[in-house]
Amino acid sequence: MATKIVMEALSPTMEEGRLVSWKKHEGDAVKTGETLAEVETDKAVMELVAREDGVLRKVLLAEGATVPVGALVAIVGGADEDLAGLLGGPAATAPPQGSGVRGQGARPAIPAAARPAEAAPAPARPESATPQPLTPDPQPLRVRSSPLARRLAAERGLDLRLVPGTGPAGRVIKRDVEAAGTAPARAAAPALPTRAPTALVPQAPAGGFRDVPLTTMRKTIARRLGESLGPVPHFFLTSEIEMERAWEARAHLAGRDEAYRVSFNDLIVKAVALALRQHPAVNASFLEDRIRYYGDVHVGVAVAVEDGLITPVIRHADRKGLLEIAAEAKGLAERARARKLVPDEYTGATFSVSNLGMYDIDDFTAVINPPEAGILAVGRIAQRPVIVDGAVVPRRTMRVTMSCDHRVVDGATGAKFLQTVKLMLENPLAMLL
Amino acid sequence: MAVLTYRDALNQALREEMARDRNVFLMGEEVGVYQGAYKVSRGLLEEFGPMRVVDTPITELGFAGVGVGAAMAGLRPVIEFMTWNFALLALDQIVNSAAKMLYMSGGQVPMPIVFRGPGGAALMLAAQHSQSFEAWYAHVPGLKVVTPATPADAKGLLKSAIRDDNPVVFIEGEMLYNTKGEVPEGEHLIPLGVADIKRPGRDVTIVAHAKMVAVALKAAEELAADGIEAEVVDPRTIRPLDLPAILASVRKTNRCVIVEEGWPFAGIGAAVVDGIQREAFDDLDAPVLRVTGADVPMPYNRQLEKLAKPDPAKVVAAVKRVLYVG
């Protein structure tokens, strides 16, 4: 029996997906578990897999197109089954999050219960045989225009969509832009709201500009961080930490055996994890009507990837040794850069660390990744003048700034947490206590 | 300034250059005793003698090769083809020998040779004798291709071609030989590779060379009656092409129509369009259109032949399309 393949929620925060490429084509036989297509979610490129044996009968989404979760993208069925009923009907309900997805790495087998495609029979609906638009058109309104008209419009800050085109097929040409520029009243096309054309597009900068459509990841970053710094009341605590002992300890370890090499960031993750264990008030989330304090400590580590960033999670970091943290952090960062992380690997952090020391940043503030209640922004380690016993001496120090969600963490709470972090990093032996 | 025919302007250029440099000589079919199939070489045999005005048998490949050899030996031959249709037989000497000699000898063997004669269609000469070959020669690195449209250009460009140390393909027009125009006396030299604005205008650029300049000017006159000011740009040399002059005009008018007598596929206009879209993309308000000879062997039927050639009406129609009028 034919089943509908819908855009599945392949990550917890995914609201829409971009079909990167079809791995099967119309007419190809497919087996349960085989990859049908690659889908770019807000975080990674994932695989959409078949839940049933059959033939890929119909592909309804072009490569490169983006549709919301739940939209019908293909139909798998018998080789010569009549699909008229299915094509006309509504899309099947989106399956539960995460099901039907197989990341590049290890993934638990999909439980039989989570195979909703089989439970979505196609009702006999003879009246709906007429094909209907299945998905909204993802393309923005296209404006035909001559290159010169585009340049003139950009120079004048005119939105070409508001300029009626008088060329062939409505092409906007030079005279149209000139007419629009001298007679603003004409500039409002009937189908669009009447407002000053300049209000839609900022004045073009003299040096020219380049508009780049948002990638799915960039959209998610924008939305998520907008949800943070606006609604989440941030405050910031900065502390300078002396890193001489940490420096020595790390150098000593690496000197003994290359296998003992850990990064400063691994040390910081470990210290933060232990401090979170000691200060459960910081290992928490604000949930509108309550605060949730977590029993486990999971530390997110921000990783820059091409055109964005992602925060893979080192779970139970408080219970892991430095070498274990180092190995895990390295592996996750590599997989993040290859965009191969699966949702389990970048969700569920209870606190995050963002380190820009390698970019020569002295100190900075980071934006909290909700629902976490804090994030530690780490600057570079540098020799700075420090006063010891009345004398100025050079010391390796590092500045950290903690962003706190004031709904959960108060100034003193955050400060005490930061004191613990400082104590551990200045005296690495304290991590053994 | 004297008013001369195109043929007499060429004759003057040949006479002046032969008088100026004893290494210059003319060779071809009927150039001597008969004084040229189109009387371009009138009086030259009498003035310069049979050593420098050489009648040849009907052997295009042969005398083109003799010319190439003479150029290698230090002379400056002018090889006349009765028409460029017959020069197809000499293509190997022009393309494989003349065009490549300087290059393949590592700069040791010069090739100061001019191949000249009428190209394009005249009237009712049928498919084999009504062809425009400038695109063929312009395709070949190592050749210069010159296509004068007026008597003054014919004289100034031929004198420069003869003095040029590279092989030059100099394409005249049977229908141009009788046209008249003012021609400067004496040392009148037009550098190769410099275009000429044959008529200034602000609304549209018409690029045309050789016989098509007259067609474009006629079209421009008709357009002016409608208040459309066309600028007619004559590249004069196809290779090297004066692209900057064409671009300057297109940047002013934002629209362009290219007229050529030859076939459309891989024609001169195709190369011009390539340059315009690449260098003046943001100045274009309309696609660049081409008016070309029809993509057929020339019909041997008066009405069909007329339809197969570019004419002012076709140019006017193309101009109105790029101007979005009519």
CATH code for the domain in which residue A363 is found: 3.30.559.10
Q: Are residues A233 and A355 in the same domain?
A: yes
pLDDT tens digits, residue range A254-292? Answer: 889 888 889 999 999 999 999 999 999 999 888 877 888
Q: Are residues B148 and B22 in the same domain?
A: yes
Q: Does a structural domain hold residue B36?
A: yes
Q: Are residues A22 and A49 in the same domain?
A: yes
Helix and strand numbers, DSSP H then E, in chain B: 12, 14
Q: Does a structural domain hold residue B191?
A: no
Indicate whether A99 pLDDT > 80.
Answer: no
Q: Does a structural domain hold residue A142?
A: no
Name the residue of chain A whose CA is nearest to B288's CA: A146
Please report, rounded to a whole number, the percentage of residues in chain B having pLDDT higher than 70: 100
Q: Are residues B158 and B227 in the same domain?
A: no
Contacts of A151 in chain B (CB under 8 A): 282-283
Nearest Cα neighbor of A49 from A117, A143, A120 is A117
Q: Are residues A300 and A173 in the same domain?
A: no
| Residue B243: domain span | 196-322
Neighbours of B236 (CB within 10 A): 27
The mean pLDDT of B268-280, rounded to a whole number, is 96
Please report, for residues A216, A218, A261, A406, B20, the alpha-carbon distance to residue A213 in angstroms, rounded to integers and kept in the order given: 9, 9, 41, 35, 68
Instruction: Report the C-alpha gap between B8 and A98 in whole angstroms.
Output: 88
Indicate whether A125 pLDDT > 60.
Answer: no
Token pair 């089989």 is at which residue? A118
Indicate whether B171 pLDDT > 80.
Answer: yes
Instruction: Report the C-alpha gap between A201 and B199 in whole angstroms.
Output: 41
Name the residue of chain B whose CA is nearest to A153's CA: B282
Q: Does a structural domain hold residue A211?
A: no
Neighbours of A222 (CB within 10 A): 11
Contact A173 B285 (CB under 8 A): yes
Q: A–B: how many Cβ contacts below 8 A?
A: 27
Contact predicate A261/A249, CB 8 Å: no
Give ∠ CA A100-A106-A107 in degrees, rounded to 5.
Answer: 30
Instruction: Report the C-alpha gap between B239 and B192 in whole angstroms.
Output: 8
Q: Does a structural domain hold residue B257?
A: yes
Contacts of B283 in chain A (CB under 8 A): 147-148, 151
Active site residue A234: no
Q: Does a structural domain hold residue A134?
A: no
Q: Are residues B170 and B204 in the same domain?
A: no
The mean pLDDT of B206-235, rounded to a whole number, is 97
Please report, rounded to a whole number, the percentage of residues in chain A having pLDDT higher than 70: 78
Q: Does a structural domain hold residue A103?
A: yes
pTM over 0.80: no
Tell me what pLDDT residue A198 has.
Answer: 33
Q: Does a structural domain hold residue A313?
A: yes
Please name the member of A147, A150, A173 whose beta carbon is closest to the beta carbon of B324: A173
Contact predicate B148/B192, CB 8 Å: no
Contact A150 B282 (CB under 8 A): yes
Q: Does a structural domain hold residue B190?
A: no
* More confident position, A153 or B182: B182
CA neighbours closer than 13 Å in the CB half-sphere of residue A319: 6
Q: Does a structural domain hold residue A376?
A: yes
Q: Are residues A293 and A232 in the same domain?
A: yes
Q: Does a structural domain hold residue B189?
A: no
Of B16, B17, B29, B60, which is the active-site residue? B60
Q: Are residues B133 and B273 in the same domain?
A: no
Give the lowest-confidence range in A230-234, A311-315, B45-49, B86-90.
Answer: A230-234
Please state the domain count of chain A: 3
Q: Are residues A196 and A243 in the same domain?
A: no
Confidence of residue A164 (pLDDT cuts 50, 70, 90): confident
Q: Are residues A188 and A265 in the same domain?
A: no
| Residue A258: domain span | 218-432
| CATH number for position B60 | 3.40.50.970
**Final residue in a domain of this structure, among A85, A101, A128:** A128
Helix or strand holding residue A5 (H, E) = strand A3-6
The mean pLDDT of A324-328, rounded to a whole number, is 94
Spell out where A284-415 has E strands: 284-286, 291-293, 299-301, 303-305, 308-310, 313-314, 351-355, 374-388, 391-405
Indicate whether B229 pLDDT > 90.
Answer: yes
Q: Are residues B69 and B209 in the same domain?
A: no
Q: Does a structural domain hold residue A357?
A: yes
Chain B residues interacting with chain A (CB cutoff of 8 angstroms): 254, 281-286, 324
| CATH number for position B286 | 3.40.50.920
Tell me what pLDDT residue A208 has.
Answer: 52
**Final residue in a domain of this structure, among B159, B183, B207:** B183
Q: Are residues B40 and B152 in the same domain?
A: yes
Based on its alpha-carbon atoms, the radius of gyration of chain A, rounded to whole angstroms, reads 28
Tell me what pLDDT residue B62 has.
Answer: 98
- Using a 10 angstrom Cβ sphere, with 0-12 exposed, 13-18 middle and 19 or more buried, the burial of residue B278 is exposed
Please report, for residues A266, A424, B223, the alpha-carbon distance to residue A245 in angstroms, rounded to integers and kept in the order given: 15, 10, 87
The mean pLDDT of A84-112, rounded to a whole number, is 45
**Final residue in a domain of this structure, among B183, B207, B236:** B183
Tell me what pLDDT residue A220 has.
Answer: 78
Contact B324 A151 (CB under 8 A): no
Establish if A190 touches chain B: CB-CB under 8 angstroms.
Answer: no
Tell me what pLDDT residue A70 has.
Answer: 82
Contact predicate B38/B177, CB 8 Å: yes
Contacts of B281 in chain A (CB under 8 A): 147
Q: Does a structural domain hold residue A179?
A: yes
Q: Are residues A195 and A225 in the same domain?
A: no
Q: Are residues A9 and A117 in the same domain?
A: yes
Q: Are residues A178 and A64 in the same domain?
A: no
Backbone angles phi, psi at A183, to 5 degrees: -130, 85
Please state the domain count of chain B: 2
Contacts of B286 in chain A (CB under 8 A): 146, 167, 173
Q: Are residues B172 and B296 in the same domain?
A: no
Tell me what pLDDT residue A200 has.
Answer: 36
| CATH number for position A79 | 2.40.50.100
Contact B285 A149 (CB under 8 A): yes
Task: Please list, residue by residue across A390-429, b when 16 or more beta carbons sit within 10 angstroms of its beta carbon and e when fewer do.
Answer: eeeeebbbbbbbbbbbebbbeeebbeebbebbbbbbbebe
Name the residue of chain A whose CA is nearest to B323's CA: A167
Confidence of residue A342 (pLDDT cuts 50, 70, 90): confident
Q: Does a structural domain hold residue B188?
A: no
Q: Is the peptide bond before B141 cis (omega within 30 degrees of 0)?
A: no
The alpha carbon of residue B207 is apart from the nearest alpha carbon of chain A, in Å, by: 20
Instruction: Report the C-alpha gap between B236 and B170 in whole angstroms.
Output: 11
Q: Are residues B144 and B6 in the same domain?
A: yes
Q: Are residues B291 and B256 in the same domain?
A: yes
Q: Are residues B227 and B318 in the same domain?
A: yes
Q: Are residues B37 and B80 in the same domain?
A: yes
Confidence of residue A376 (pLDDT cuts 50, 70, 90): very high
ipTM of the complex: 0.74
Q: Are residues A189 and A229 in the same domain?
A: no
Q: Are residues A184 and A226 in the same domain?
A: no
DSSP assignment of B296-312 equals SPPPSSHHHHHHHS--H
**Final residue in a domain of this structure, among B183, B209, B242:** B183
pLDDT tens digits, residue range B67-86? Answer: 999 999 999 999 999 999 99
Contact predicate B35/B23, CB 8 Å: no
Q: Are residues A227 and A306 in the same domain?
A: yes
Q: Are residues B200 and B179 in the same domain?
A: no
